[in-house]
Amino acid sequence: DMVEVKTALVSVFDKTGLKELGEFLAARKVHVLSTGGTAAKLREYGCTVQDVAEYTGSPEILDGRVKTLHPKVHGGLLAARGNEKHQKDMATHGIRSIDLVIVNLYPFRDAVAAQPDDFPYCIENIDIGGPAMIRASAKNNAHVAICTSPSQYPKIMEEMKANGGCTRMAFRRNLAAAAYALTSSYDAAVSQWMATQVTEPPSTKTVSFEVERPLKYGCNPHQLPAGLCSVNGLKLPFEVVSGTPGYINLLDAVNAWQLVYELGKATGKPAAASFKHVSPAGAAIGVPLSDAEVGVYEVKGKPLTPVACAYVRARNADPMCSFGDFVAISSEVDVATANILKIEVSDGI
Residues 6+ apart with CB under 8 A from 27: none
Catalytic (active-site) positions: 139, 277
Shortest CA distance to 325 belongs to which of 289, 263, 272?
272
Put residue 25 in one of left, alpha, beta given phi > 0 → left and psi -120 to 50 → alpha. Answer: alpha
CA dihedral for 149, 151, 153, 155, sign (positive or negative) = negative
Q: What is the DSSP letter of 4?
A: E
**Is 226 exposed, middle or buried (CB count within 10 Å of its CB: 0-12, 13-18, 19+)?**
middle
Q: Which residues pair with 147 in a beta bridge?
A: 102
Residues 7/96, Cβ–Cβ less than 8 Å: yes
> H-type helices in the chain, by residue range?
18-27, 36-44, 52-56, 71-78, 84-93, 108-114, 119-124, 129-139, 153-162, 169-195, 247-267, 291-296, 306-315, 335-341
Cα-based distances in Å from 164 to 2, 11, 73, 137, 279:
10, 24, 26, 22, 57
Spacing of C-alpha 24 from chain mean position: 26
b/e code 304-318 from CB counts within 10 Å (16+ = b):
bebbbbbbbbbbbbe
